[in-house]
Structure 1
Amino acid sequence: MNAVLTAIAAVKLVILLLGGAITYIAFRAYRHTNSPSLRVLGVGFGIITFGAFLSGIANQFFAVSLAVGVLANSVFVAAGLAVIMYSLYIQQ
């Protein structure tokens, strides 16, 4: 089971790095273009990234069960995807 937990931690780290980079690039693009859809897109990716980070921390350091961590992560992913979908819908 230790190998699985290590793999989960490694994947969560990759998600944190990639999600943080995408969020940063989206916000940088927003500042450059002042496009509300890019701002909302960054928020959506930020929510997804934060959910992965939070569920990983909860599982590793606060003895939250893997099932509860997956549920929490899924809620953040669903919310983030809803925000991303909204960002694609926004009219300028």
Structure 2
Amino acid sequence: MNEYALVIAIANTTTVLAGGAIALLAYRAFRRTGATALRTVAIGVGVIVGGSILGSSIHLVGDAVGLGIALQSAVTAVGFVILLYSLYAETSDLSVTTELSL
């Protein structure tokens, strides 16, 4: 077994748990507000989490650390591109109103 296996397992577990929580919260916020940018954030983080699961699965099942890291890195890059898109996406469907009560 690779000497970095424990570190990889801890990092991937943390990524899946924290990333899954972020994706869930972003999706709930999308459902509450209807902001498509939040839906895109949820998708982007979900893709990153999926890449972590894919990479660690290949590492554990196929015992191919290099392939697992390569696939995880590629999917992570795609996830970050989706997150970047969410920052620049048109948000004209979102209206913000404020009320002041005296």
Q: When the two structures are superposed, what TM-score results if normalisation uses the length of structure 1?
A: 0.92
1 or 2 for the larger relative contact order (CA 8 Å, sep ≥6)? Answer: 1
Question: Which sections of structure 2, spanning at least 5 residues, go unmatched?
Answer: 92-102
Deviations 1:28-80 (A, max 9, x none): 000010000000110000000100111001101222x2111111011111100
Secondary structure in 1 matching 2:4: helix
Give the structure with higher Rg (CA): 2
How many residue pairs end up in the alignment? 91
Alignment of 1:1-92 (within 5 A): 2-63=2-63, 65-92=64-91
1:1-22 residue CA offsets vs partner (Å, 9 max, x unmatched): 5552122111111110001000
Q: Which runs of 4+ in 1 moved over 2 A?
A: none
Task: Give the aligned CA root-mean-square deviation in angstroms.
Answer: 1.2
Amino acid at match of 1:86: Y
